[in-house]
Structure 1
Amino acid sequence: MICILLQCISQSAYADLARAEGMLKISGLDWTVIRATMLTNEPGNGVAKDWAAR
């Protein structure tokens, strides 16, 4: 039951992300999408990793 619920939530979230990116693409704005891929309960340390640069 929990798996089904999580699957529904993640599908909905992905659809929202895709719709938002689509709106950005047609906006004519210069944009960059940044997503937090791993959140923790630890205090911030001011460091961000650029995985694309590797």
Structure 2
Amino acid sequence: MLVLVCWFWFVGFGLLVLVCWFWFVGFGLLVLVCWFWFVGFGLLVLRNVFSSQDK
């Protein structure tokens, strides 16, 4: 009985760690995507500004 309880605890803890890890990785990817969007948008705006100055 004790072995079963310990096993359930271990499995539950493992699942919790896995879920937290996926959350962390997902959040990291989201931040990365937002950061790439921001940088890409900033470069696009800068390019438009510089090209409009040339005219």
TM-score by length of 2: 0.49
Unaligned segments of structure 1, at least 5 residues: 31-54
Q: Which runs of 4+ in 1 moved over 4 A?
A: none
Mapping of residues 1-54 of structure 1, within 5 Å: 1-28=2-29
Q: Which of these two proteins has the greater Rg computed from alpha carbons?
A: 2
Query: What RMSD, in angstroms, separates the aligned Cα atoms of the two structures?
Result: 1.7
Q: How many angstroms apart in 2 are the aligned matches of 1:12 and 1:22?
A: 15
Structure 2 stretches lacking a partner, 5+ long = 34-55
Superposed displacement of residue 7, structure 1 = 0.3
CA distances 1:1-40 after superposition (whole Å, capped 9, x unpaired): 100010000000000000000001111258xxxxxxxxxx
**TM-score for the superposition, normalised by structure 1:** 0.50
* Residue identity opposite 2:25 in structure 1: L
Compare the two structures and name the one with the higher helix fraction.
Answer: 2
